[in-house]
Amino acid sequence: MKKSKGILSLILVVALMVLLGVTTTVGLGRGHSGAMKNINLGLDLEGGVSITYQVKGDKPSDEDMADTIYKLQRRVEQYSTEATVYQEGDDRISIEIPGVTDANEILDELGQPGSLYFIAEKDSDGNANYKQVSSTGDAAADFQLNKTIDELLDDGSVVLTGTDVKTASAGSTNNGTTGAKQYVVSLELNKDGTEKFAAATKAAYANGQSIGIYYDGAFVSVPNVNAEISDGQAQISGNMTYEEADRLASTIRIGGLNLELEELRSNVVGAQLGEEAISTSLKAGAIGLAIVFVFMCWVYLLPGFAAGLALLIYTGLMLVALNAFDITLTLPGIAGIILGIGMAVDANVIIFARVKEEFTDGKSVKAALNAGFHKAMSAILDGNITTLIAAAVLWLRGSGTVKGFAQTLALGIVLSMFTALVITKMIVYAFYAVGIRSEKVYGRMLKERKPINFLGKKKVFFAISAALILIGFVFMGINSAQGKGALNYSLEFKGGTSTNVTFAQDYTLEKIDRDIVPLIEDVTGDKNVQVQKVADSNQVIFKTQTLDLEKREAFAKVMSDNYGVQADQITTENISSTVSSEMRRDAVIAVIIATVCMLLYIWFRFKDVRFATSAVLALLHDVLVVLGFYVIARVSVGNTFIACMLTIVGYSINATIVIFDRIREELKTKKRGEGLDALVNRCITRTLTRSIYTSLTTFVMVAVLYVMGVSSIKEFALPLMVGIVCGAYSSVCITGALWYVMKTKIVKK
């Protein structure tokens, strides 16, 4: 790079930093696009809309309630991946959607859940089931039924009901004749629906008939059947705008519920954590970044300064991207960003550790930089792609919190690779081009560290790991025997009690958290009370673990003695878990698929299944050790538990890949007669600095969050710190040893 290009590169970097700084703090244009304040925040950080539906008719079965809750959960995710749906009492369903302030707008868009029917144009005797009375283009006005729904059900004219529809979505396609763009609604049917629809469309196509879609008392569409549809994948086309197609898809989705619901109440609720929690989290993030910046400069000098600048650019790009992709940020989402920062630092550490090694071998500054970036490339790509695969699977298969975490994690990975491999490289080479070429400012010269005999202590490491895992299971048994439950499940996992209190005056969320919540914790024994303020009222909703009659009375007495709240101003309802059994199943399936995909990718890249197997076993080790910490410390297991475990998996696999990449590289140049154990020890030793530094920088970020954060953030940060330490330990002490044992003792190639 010429000097002029170097100066231009530095000017571009400064301009980018200024632009990102202005964008994130103030925003661009009249709408302040890209500003931090415009990021969609979750219910825990910003508040939103709470809607409660009542089931029509008789008391529903548990199966119908569970099915309806799960389907509603999948549908409200169109508004936010962090939306939650849970059961309240025996026959009510509550929906909480973050980042929204108009309940009526949501109710209009979501639709009134009702009955959906796909009706054949004629019955088996050839009699018309419906007729066209006008040609306005509005199906509700143009078509009328000739029979009642009960009659249609009895004579078999209803070919599908809403329960046969798996999903519906709006999209676009090109007209096969004209090539013009047109909007369509794509339907996917379940197994039963596929079989029934195949028979119905075969008959309708043969006779040139239509199939009417009837919802909540009126036709919403009457499309002609142009072919037999046997694969369960149908498409409704016509002269529709995107908004019309989206509205029709939404109607079909909401009509596929097992139960008919009617709106009981809707409220706008405030944030669960309050402004203090958000502000302290932002301060903690800023302090953590500053510490990491100083640390990188101290350890790696000028390249460290370049990495620090790239890290600031990463943070700015992340904030702008959250706006651009309309991602809802919640506490678990912050975990994905923290992991992204850790990976951004990690990539730079890998590069500069390599540069130092090249200096040690006597290379010039330019040659050392070239070799450092080149040799670090494979480790960075493999580590990040492996984690990106996991994030993609979690996003496609997960729901709720898992999906939100996967979005921020994937975004963080892509941006961290970009800033490390493009921005950092550009800044470092620009410094070199403008004349800063002294070896002293590019890294301290190192002596080759004598290899540490990690494999010689592998039995000790294996024993320590086995003991840590075993202790967790032992405490599970002890807790269960004492009646406390193996894990301290929060209301997100096992349900609880929602208590609505109407105070005589309006209290701020900070006042409630500081003065009222501790009183509730004392009488209920629940240290994870969730709070929501109802907008434009003095009502506050307290969600706790399930309260028996004695605790409910104690709760009421505390409210009466301290705040003069009368008994008729307190209402309580038992609520189901917000993480349904189906969502848990989805999360487990997603993690299993992600693990298999990571195993296959590592196998493909390293050409040795033993690398992949030992990496997955190390992941399992980390998860079980952290699970044991949850058991022993009785940390509440809620939504943050899922995010914490996923963060640890992403972090740990990245560290493992770096060591395996070095082993793969050293195997190609292995000296004749050198033992495999000596090679593995040398590789682990050479990557030890990287393992320590990246764990330390990520640990610092989370530790500052723990020190400065409110109780819910502490509850998330503490096990995450344990996971970071455990991930570093397993990467250094376990994975290499596992691979060596498999290579030499168990599986011959």
- Of 625, 648, 613, the C-alpha closest to 466 is 625
Tens of pLDDT, residue by residue over 18-29, are 888 887 777 776
Instruction: Calculate mean pLDDT across residues 103-125.
Output: 72
Instruction: Calculate mean pLDDT across residues 708-720.
Output: 76
The reported pLDDT for the residue numbered 749 is: 46
Instruction: Calculate mean pLDDT across residues 728-748.
Output: 85
Instruction: Calculate mean pLDDT across residues 40-56.
Output: 72
Render 402-431 in DSSP notation, one character per residue. Answer: HHHHHHHHHHHHHHHHHIIIIIIHHHHHHH
User: Residue 534 pLDDT more than 60?
Assistant: yes
Domain ranges of the chain: 54-112+265-270, 116-256, 280-441, 456-473+580-746, 496-575
CA Rg, the chain, in Å? Answer: 30
At residue 258 the predicted structure's pLDDT band, cuts being 50, 70 and 90, is: low
Tens of pLDDT, residue by residue over 129-143, are 999 988 888 888 889
The reported pLDDT for the residue numbered 130 is: 92
116-256: in CATH 3.40.50.970:
no
Same CATH topology for 280-441 and 456-473+580-746: the answer is: yes
Render 597-625 in DSSP notation, one character per residue. Answer: HHHHHHHHHHT-HHHHHHHHHHHHHHHHH
* CATH-assigned architecture of domain 54-112+265-270: 2-Layer Sandwich (3.30)
* CATH-assigned architecture of domain 496-575: 2-Layer Sandwich (3.30)
Tens of pLDDT, residue by residue over 442-463, are 766 566 678 889 999 999 999 9
The reported pLDDT for the residue numbered 468 is: 93
CATH class of 456-473+580-746: mainly alpha
CA end-to-end span of the chain, whole Å? 46
At residue 103 the predicted structure's pLDDT band, cuts being 50, 70 and 90, is: low
Q: C-alpha dihedral over 609, 612, 614, 616, to 10 degrees?
A: -140
- What percent of the chain shows pLDDT beyond 90? 10
Tens of pLDDT, residue by residue over 372-410, are 888 888 888 888 888 888 778 877 776 666 677 778 878
709: three-class secondary structure by DSSP? coil
Least confident interval from 266-270, 473-477, 605-609, 679-683: 266-270
Of residues 669 and 721, more confidence is placed in 721
Least confident interval from 8-22, 246-260, 468-482: 246-260
Helix or strand run (H / E) with residue 154: helix 149-154
221: three-class secondary structure by DSSP? strand
Q: What is the mean pLDDT of the chain?
A: 81
The reported pLDDT for the residue numbered 270 is: 57
Out of 3.20.20.70, 3.50.50.60, 1.20.1640.10, 3.40.50.300, which CATH number does the structure's domain 280-441 have? 1.20.1640.10
Global pTM reads 0.69
- Of 115, 118, 114, 113, the C-alpha closest to 193 is 118
Instruction: Calculate mean pLDDT across residues 263-267.
Output: 71
C-alpha separations of 288 from 25, 163, 328, 695 in Å: 19, 50, 23, 13
Tens of pLDDT, residue by residue over 559-570, are 988 888 888 888
The reported pLDDT for the residue numbered 460 is: 94
